Structure 1
Amino acid sequence: MPQQRRALVVRGGWDGHAPEEAVDLFLPFLREHDFDVVVEGSLEVYADASLMASTDLVVQCWTMGEILADELHGLRDAVAAGTGFAGWHGGVVDSFRMATDYLQLVGAQFAAHPGGIVDHTVQIVPGRADDPIVDGIADFALRSEQYWLLSDDLNDVLATTTITPGPDDHWLVPQTSPAVWKRLWGEGRVFVCAPGHQLADLELPPVRTIIERGLLWAAR
């Protein structure tokens, strides 16, 4: 019988993203897919080299906060060695703002969400519509935060969102940011879904499906 895979779920940080409740939405899915799920409320676990080496997927939901050097190095080393890393919204792209090595790992950094809660569209990249993470999913509408992200070219972008300037805004043309992407990091895989500000976002069928598929893709 194949050995059961381990998923390490790390949640905490700013309470505004409801890290406990948000993560709880996906715990049954992970267990249904035969993961041994370990839930932690501290970043100290990243510094446990033995645990990280035996972890096949890290699911992080930790907005803002600070990460210590040994914790960050433990996370980066584990991903480079093959541990998957995945998350959504601020729990992964607005974590540890001052930790540049973390931002490099994830491939994007939160910059703004103009207008706060706004109506917007998440658009599947036409050339990537057959990727297993977004296959069969059409463009979809959200009323939530629309993330403006600073990103790099290592991301395999599967979906985008375009932020249109209003009359009082200081940028002059629409700005397109990645909304869903995956990337390789050493032997590991990184998956990010930028939507997910509210629990209702995570329960929306296209968002939930994308995240669930992304978790499975990222796992070793």
Structure 2
Amino acid sequence: MKQALIVWGGWDGHQPQQVAALLGDALKEEGFNVEISDTLDSFSDEDKLASVDLIVPVWTMGKITPEQLKPLLYAVKVGGTGIAGCHGGMGDSFRNETEFQYMVGGQWVAHPGNDGVTYEVRIKDLNQPLTQGIGDFTVVSEQYYMHVDPGNQVHAVTYFGDVEMPVVWTKMYGSGKVYYNSLGHQANIVAMPETLELMRRGMVWAAR
């Protein structure tokens, strides 16, 4: 049985506890043993991180100490533990920690219009296992404009005028697989069938 660690906290406006529960339930349905924690000290336990196949951070903003961050980065980069997350819970965590942002492959910059913007998410490759059978869909939520790593493999996009902006991507960080989805402002957006299915597939893919 694969092991997953979900760590939630940070800015409460993103409903991290509820999002963690939704993602935890999805992983349990996939046969994972899931531990849910509300402290970044979980990242300080090197033995724990070495034993898990997947880490799911749900922690917008906040600060992380070197004693918490270094074992997390090591577990993914060297140990091959997968990491997957969504929205600000992984794409706007620990704003001063550029190595974390490099691992993720992007960092939130702005959400013009704030919450309530209606926009389209377009799937880039309908034959890719992470997106197969999921068509383009409409979201009414925050639309994330992000700084992104040009080396990311992009699976879904949105548009700011003529600018194509990645929504879902994958990458490697050393030995570890990284999955990110910019959707998920609050639990109701994570619970959308398209978002939840994308997250389910992405988390399973990222797991060691």
Bin for the TM-score computed over the shorter chain = over 0.9
C-alpha separation in 2, matches of 1:119 and 1:139: 13
User: How far is the alpha carbon of 1:100 from its aligned partner?
Assistant: 0.6
Pair 1:36-2:24 in alignment: no
Cα shift at 1:39? 1.1
**Deviations 1:109-160, CA, capped at 9 Å, x for gaps:** 00000011201001111xx321111111111101100000001122110011
Does the 8 Å contact 2:119/2:138 carry over to 1? yes
Aligned partner of 2:176 in structure 1 is: 188
Q: Which residue of 2 aligns with 1:176?
A: 164
Shift of 1:205: 1.1
Instruction: Please give the residue correspondences for 1:109-124 in structure 2 after superposition, counting only pairs within 5 Å.
Output: 109-116=107-114, 117-124=116-123
Question: Could you tell me which of 123, 142, 146 is aligned with 1:149?
Answer: 146
Deviation at 1:13, TM superposition (A): 0.2
Worse overlay, 105-114 or 151-160: 151-160
| 2:142 maps to amino acid | E
SS at 2:165 equivalent: strand
Tell me, in whole angstroms, the C-alpha distance in 1 between the residues paired with 2:173 and 2:108.
20
TM-score between the two structures when normalised by the length of structure 1: 0.91
Size of the aligned set, in residue pairs, is 206
Secondary structure in structure 2 of the residue aligned to 1:25: helix
Matching of residue 71 in structure 1 with residue 59 in structure 2? no
Corresponding residue of 2:103? 105
Partner SS state of residue 200, structure 2: helix
Name the CA distance, whole Å, in 1 between partners of 2:72 and 2:191. Answer: 28
For 2:41 and 2:186, how far apart are their aligned partners in 1?
27
* Cα offsets for 1:21-43 (capped at 9, x unmatched): 11111222212222121111111
Q: CA-to-partner distance for each residue in 1:14-70, whole Å, 9 max, x for gaps?
A: 000000011111222212222121111111111211000001000110000011112
Q: How far apart, CA to CA, are the structure 2 residues paired with 1:47 and 1:198? A: 27
Matches of 1:185 and 1:101 in 2, distance apart? 10
Counterparts of residues 3-152 of structure 1 (less than 5 Å): 4-80=1-77, 81-116=79-114, 117-125=116-124, 128-152=125-149
Q: CA deviation at 1:176?
A: 2.1
Measure the CA separation in 2 of the matches of 1:78 and 1:159. Answer: 27
Q: Cα RMSD (Å) of the superposition?
A: 1.0
> Structure 2: how far apart are the matches of 1:195 and 1:31?
21
Q: Which runs of 5+ in 2 are unaligned?
A: none
Structure with higher RCO (Cα < 8 A, 6+ apart): 2
Structure 1 runs of 4+ aligned residues shifted over 4 Å read: none
SS, match of residue 70 in structure 1 = helix
**Counterpart AA for 1:89:** H
**Which residue identity is paired with 1:36?**
N
How far apart are the structure 2 equivalents of 1:88 and 1:142?
15
Aligned mates of 1:189, 1:95 — CA distance in 2 = 18
Shift of 1:101: 0.7
Q: Which amino acid aligns with 2:170?
A: K
Amino acid at match of 1:199: A
Query: What's the secondary structure of 2:154's corresponding residue?
Result: strand
Structure label with greater radius of gyration: 1
Give me the TM-score of the superposition, normalised by structure 2: 0.96
Structure 2 counterpart of 1:124, one-letter code: I
Partner-residue secondary structure (3-state), 1:154: coil
Which amino acid in 2 is paired with 1:187?
A: S
Aligned to 1:169: none
